[in-house]
Amino acid sequence: MLETSIAGSLPRPDWLAEPETLKGAWKLHGAELEAGKRRAAADWIRHQEDAGIQVVTNGEVFRSHFVHGFLEGLTGIDWQKMTRMGIRNNRYELDVPTVVAPLGRPAPVHLDEVRFSRSQARGRFKFTLPGPMTICDTIADGYYGSRPALAMAFADILNAEARDLEAAGVDVIQFDEPAFNVFMDDVKDWGIEALHRAMAGLRCTTAVHICYGYGIQANLDWKASLGNEWRQYEEIFPALNASRVQQISLECAGSRVPLSLLRLLPDKQLMVGAIEVTGTHVESPEEVAATLRAAAEHVELARILPCTNCGMAPIAWDTALAKLRALGDGARLLRERRQGWTG
Ligand code: ZN
């Protein structure tokens, strides 16, 4: 009951990379860098387990960006041809590489880190991959000619990768699709089709993470512009409920998402974000329990999986650790209390 997990990323420690920023530069090189990544992952896995997080990740400490970390292992992408691109419908700008030829995956991209991380985790292990639509919103296309065509090409490559990772013992494969909250028509037109293609044939648990983005300033400004009620999920949840993905990760803590929208996902397990990913406030276990309890007003408790709103990569290391503990403690609090109420 109330199986806890996190959306995915955790801060890379300040001895490993420039902290508290998106895409902070590595501070180590060569063999030292590889050893450092492993040490950071093992530390985070242990901290998650100590905090009572039941489905752990490696904190995504092996990559400097959640999309580009995967793309770096593929062929067909020109990293010298960087294009400054408006991301998520021009919410912020990022220098992105360009697809210049048919995409290929000469070898598994994340297999080594997954084998190592899997060996460190005592319980269930989740691995996150960028979703095809979000990749297409984070790279320039100089070859395929349309976003759906590019997305399907990425989906096939993601599927090959996901199968390799499943075979290495990953229990949950999660595709991160923050773009689903921005291009709602595309989700219905081709986004879910691409997601299905990426997860085809998988026997492990499948999940999709749809959020309002990291707690970086551009996202905070965007959220402030969305009005009193954030209803983006309302447009895509019916289609997602009809999809084959099993778990849906969404943002509930400190957000203006009406929790009644959870009712649009009657057939899914819901990773309810009960931890904000801004660095300014550490939730108390009481606050976490209250967020989860509020979600349980709308959906059965048995389908609720306590989670963070999004990745915590850009926030301070100590803050992220405190938030992990609050999440574990808050879920524990609710498990103890549920004897007392009938909801
Ligand atoms: Zn997110």
The reported pLDDT for the residue numbered 343 is: 47
Q: How far, in Å, from the CA of 291 to the mean position of ligand 1? A: 18
Where along the chain do its domains lie?
30-63+111-131+158-336
Whole-number Å distance between alpha carbons of 137 and 48: 31
Burial 112-123 (b: 16+ CB within 10 A, else e): ebbebbbebbee
Which DSSP string do the residues of 175-199 spell out, in sequence order? EE-GGGGT-HHHIIIIIHHHHHHHH
pLDDT tens string for the chain (343 positions)? 899 999 999 999 999 999 998 889 999 999 999 999 999 999 999 999 999 999 999 999 999 988 989 999 999 999 999 999 998 888 888 889 999 999 999 999 999 999 999 999 999 999 999 999 999 999 999 999 999 999 999 999 999 999 999 999 999 999 999 999 999 999 999 999 999 999 999 999 999 999 888 777 888 888 888 888 888 889 999 999 999 999 999 999 988 889 999 999 999 999 999 999 988 899 999 999 999 999 999 999 999 999 999 999 999 999 999 999 999 999 999 999 987 765 4
Q: What is the CA radius of gyration of the chain?
A: 19
Protein residues near ligand 1, an ion, with CB under 5 A: 211, 310
CATH architecture of 30-63+111-131+158-336: Alpha-Beta Barrel (3.20)
Q: Distance from the CA of 212 to the center of ligand 1, in angstroms?
A: 6
* Separation of CA 213 and ligand 1 centre (Å): 5
Ligand 1 center–CA 233 separation, angstroms: 14
- Cα separation, 127 vs 171, whole angstroms: 8
The CA-atom distances, in angstroms, between 158 and each of 109, 138, 168, 173 are 10, 15, 15, 11
| C-alpha 314 to ligand 1 mean position (Å) | 12
* pLDDT of the residue at 242: 98
What pTM was estimated for this model as a whole? 0.95
* 317 CA → ligand 1 middle, Å: 18
Report how far ligand 1's centroid is from the alpha carbon of 176 (Å).
7
